[in-house]
Amino acid sequence: ELIHVDGMQVVRLSNAEASAEVYLYGAHVTSYVRRGVPKLFLSDLAALDGSAPIRGGIPVCFPQFGKRGPMAVQHGFARRVVWELGGALDAATPSVVLRLPPGEHADWDYRLGCLLKVALEVDGTLVCHMTVHNEESERACSFSTALHAYFCTPDIEKTRISGLQGTTYIDQLAGGAVVEEYPDKVEFLSEVDRIYSGVPSKIMIECGDNLVSELELETFCDAIVWNPHVEKSRGMADLPDDAWKGFVCVEPAVAVQPVVLGAGEHWAAILRIR
Ligand code: BG6
């Protein structure tokens, strides 16, 4: 169902197991609740009026992750524009298809179509299915992307990410140095901002002995793991000072090597969360 919240268009999806909310602004999933448990963090100070990217939920970074590409704007323009509904909403299947609108953007001169389908499976799993189409008639085009998911966690100090064993990472806090050390699990004792490359298809977020959330990836071959910790949070106007204790970002991506699409070619990737 399409509703209006403070002048913004929001799609609500629900079935017996789960519910989700998707803002057309940014094609941004702001809420996902499964079996009564909120899975995604949304900042109490997030701008929800379209004036700035939404802090929390699942921002879509496209056609560039971070500053890794030709654009000056961090994470690309997709999270800053209102997407279009890509078809009629059907209450029987809790899903919505959103289409990135055509438009002019600084440092960007390609016709690259992007669709995001957000759906709930019968068991309440959230599925984000992203497809990209190079609509140029002659030119190849490259892009990078991430589904910048903010996961709730009860206590960041007891939070561990597993499934990344054996993958190297680029440390964004050390000028992009490549780190080859393979601890069992990633911990958050200070700010963490890493791009893991060549990641497996399953990544788990644990807190103490509990599994908090599980991600399943198709095509996405990298994953950013980020938590701002004390200092960086203080500099972020749209994040309460102590909110970093309650979330971790695990972001399925293609960020280390861009995707290169020949004229007319398609690319597709899937993230499942449960
Ligand atoms: C992460 C980056 O993906 O996003 C971090 O690795 C960045 O470096 C973070 O700080 C948040 O970015 P933004 O633009 O939403 O503040």
Ligand 1 test: best mutation among 74, 222, 232, most atoms within 8 Å of CB? 74
Query: How far apart (Å, rounded) are the C-alpha atoms in residues 90 and 127?
Result: 17
Tens digit of each residue's pLDDT (9 = 90 or more) over 12-35: 999 999 999 999 999 999 999 999
Residues annotated within the binding site are: 55, 74, 79
- Name the nearest CA neighbour of 20 among 47, 42, 52: 42
DSSP code of residue 180: -
Measured CA to CA, the distance from residue 254 to residue 238 in angstroms comes to 26
pLDDT at 159: 98
Q: Based on the structure, what is the number of domains in the chain? A: 1
For residue 113, give the amino acid letter: G
- Asked if 212 and 151 count as a contact pair (C-beta separation under 8 A), the reply is yes
Q: How many angstroms separate the CA atoms of 38 and 32, rounded?
A: 6
Condensed to tens digits (0 to 9), the pLDDT of residues 211-239 reads: 999 999 999 999 999 999 999 999 999 99
Q: Which residues line ligand 1 (CB under 6 A)?
A: 53, 66, 74-75, 148, 172, 193, 224, 226, 251
Out of 45, 60, 170, 224, mutate this one to test ligand 1's pocket (max ligand atoms within 8 Å of CB): namely: 224
Q: What is the DSSP letter of 232?
A: H
With a cut of 50, list the residues of the chain below it in pLDDT: none
Write down the ipTM of this complex. 0.98
Q: Which residues contact 106 (CB under 8 A, 6 or more apart)?
A: 71, 72, 73
Q: Which domain holds residue 102?
A: 2-273
Residue 145's CATH number: 2.70.98.10
Establish whether 148 is a catalytic residue: yes
Burial class of residue 16 (count of CB atoms within 10 Å of its CB; 0-12, 13-18, 19+): exposed
